[in-house]
Amino acid sequence: MIPLTSSCFGYYIVKANAQQWFSMIDYKGRHCGDCLPCIIKRVSLHHANVPNKYDDYLVDVFNIFDSPIFLTKPEHSLDTIVRIADILRFCQCLLNIPIHDLIINFPDLYIFSSSVDSSKLSDMYKRYSEEVIQCFRDKSSIKTQEVFSSVLAP
């Protein structure tokens, strides 16, 4: 089931990028690896302890500085690095601010309905943030951990 799922924004250019960037002629993967849905999928599967055989992505965001495209495609890599920084900064923010500040700063994350418990919603966002940061701590290269040490340092 897992190999059949995909929400990748770049699925339509994965094979072309595999050929152009990594000289992989018959790449069978379907995930670019560095769009937001790919990053979130990797975090979720890591948290669920899904075997590594399902962790097949063209670009490894956890080792972006060691990837050949870091040197050959600097603009693309910069976009990826900014995306990683945005995610980590957002998760760090969600973890560290009190619930009333969460609602003030991110009202679009809250559903204002009598049947929704805001504190449970906040707890879910905080769990998500912990999972993202823990995944980056577990899977990132030493260089990635150094660059994002303000969030990833234990």
Task: State which residue, 31 or 102, has the beta carbon closest to Zn ion.
Answer: 31
103-142 binders of Zn ion (CB under 5 A): none
Q: What CA–CA distance (Å, rounded) separates 99 from 82?
A: 26
Confirm if 139 and 62 have CB atoms less than 8 A apart: yes
CB of residue 53 to Zn ion, shortest distance in Å: 19
Tell me if 8 contacts Zn ion by CB under 5 A.
yes
Which residue of 10, 41, 61, 102 would you call a contact of Zn ion, by CB under 5 A?
10
Produce one character per residue of 37-59: b if its CB has 16 or more CB atoms within 10 Å, e if not. ebbbbbbebbbeeeeeeebebbb
Task: State which residue, 10 or 151, has the beta carbon closest to Zn ion.
Answer: 10
CB of residue 4 to Zn ion, shortest distance in Å: 15
16-55 binders of Zn ion (CB under 5 A): 32, 35, 38
Q: What CA–CA distance (Å, rounded) separates 23 from 52?
A: 23
Give the torsion through C-alpha atoms of 109, 114, 117, 118, to 10 deg: 40
Q: What CA–CA distance (Å, rounded) separates 47 from 45?
A: 5
Tell me if 80 contacts Zn ion by CB under 5 A.
no
**Neighbour count for residue 95 (Cβ, 10 Å):** 16
Tell me if 58 contacts Zn ion by CB under 5 A.
no
Task: State which residue, 102 or 136, has the beta carbon closest to Zn ion.
Answer: 136
Q: Kindly determine how many residues on this chain lie close enough to bind Zn ion according to the rule CB under 5 A.
A: 5
CB of residue 88 to Zn ion, shortest distance in Å: 18
Task: State which residue, 50 or 95, has the beta carbon closest to Zn ion.
Answer: 50
Amino acid at 40: I
Applying CB under 5 A, the residues found at the interface with Zn ion are 8, 10, 32, 35, 38
